[in-house]
Structure 1
Amino acid sequence: MNIKLDDLTGPEIRDLIMEHLHSMTLHSPPESIHALNLDELKKPEITFWSVWKEEELLGCGALKELDGQHGEIKSMRTSSSHLKRGVARRLLQHIIEEAKQRGYQRLSLETGSMDAFEPARNLYVSFGFGFCKPFSDYIEDPNSAFMTKEL
């Protein structure tokens, strides 16, 4: 697996982000969808990575700087043809290491509270993330699960 910075201009990543956004509409009401589109992912406070095996896109993820000590994981997605192969685990390790290198004291995320998001929640728990109150601009939402980890 090769993890690389991505400028979000390739057709493969565009398609994966579209798959990600579409999947959110299947499992969450519109007001509870916090996934970012391509333009939002290009903001300067967001670093975006893609995961490849040779010429095949396996997944993606991003790190958003909330402030100098707090980062947020965004847009974690494994291609549907590569689920349960360690892609998300490897990318999450990469993002945590990057957050530590930046000097962040905390890393947080928002994910769904529904059954479809249970594998994601379990992955985060296995890395030491715990459930928390909403952070940043989020508000309480029964469709959201908020998680955080001290680094």
Structure 2
Amino acid sequence: MDIRLDNLEGPQILELLREHLESMAPTAPPESRHALDLAGLRSDDVTFWSIWDGAALAGFGALKHLTAAHAEIKSMRTAGSHLRRGVASMMLRHLIREAAVSGYSRLSLETGSMEFFEPARRLYASFGFAPCAPFADYRPDPNSVFMTRSIDTTDA
């Protein structure tokens, strides 16, 4: 599998992003859904990567710059055809490495508190992420779980 910097223009990317956003709709009220849409992912403070298995899109993920020392993981998604094949772990390793190379010392994320998000929370915890208080512009929300971890050059 190959991880590529992506411009969010390919039809496969746009379809998986649509699927990602639609899958979030039933999980929480609109004010508690923090997945970035296409415009948000194309923002200057976001870097987006896709994972390809030959010609098939396997997943994507993004990093959002918060401060010189702090970045946020955004919009990780694995294509249904590639579930339980290590795509999410591969992308998470890549995002941690990219954050370290970029000089960030902290990497945080927001995910849902519902059972739907339990596999994601387990994955993040297995990579050293621990629960934390809301960060950046987030506010306390019973529908959200906030997680963070320190990173350094050994993660590069």
**When the two structures are superposed, what TM-score results if normalisation uses the length of structure 2?**
0.96
Instruction: Measure, in 1, the Cα distance between the counterparts of 2:13 and 2:94.
Output: 18
Match of 1:83 in 2: 83
The CA deviation at 1:30 is 1.1
- The correspondence of residues 1-150 of structure 1 with structure 2, limited to 5 A, is 1-150=1-150
Structure 1: give runs of 5+ residues left out of the alignment.
none
The CA deviation at 1:6 is 0.4
User: SS in structure 2 opposite 1:51?
Assistant: strand
User: SS in structure 2 opposite 1:133?
Assistant: coil
Instruction: Measure, in 2, the Cα distance between the counterparts of 1:7 and 1:28.
Output: 29
Instruction: Measure, in 2, the Cα distance between the counterparts of 1:83 and 1:31.
Output: 28
The CA deviation at 1:81 is 1.7
User: SS in structure 2 opposite 1:123?
Assistant: helix
One-letter amino acid of the structure 2 residue matched with residue 130 of structure 1: A
Kindly tell me the number of residue pairs found equivalent between the two proteins.
151
Structure 2: give runs of 5+ residues left out of the alignment.
152-156
The CA deviation at 1:110 is 0.1
Instruction: Measure, in 2, the Cα distance between the counterparts of 1:28 and 1:16.
Output: 20
Q: Percent identity?
A: 59
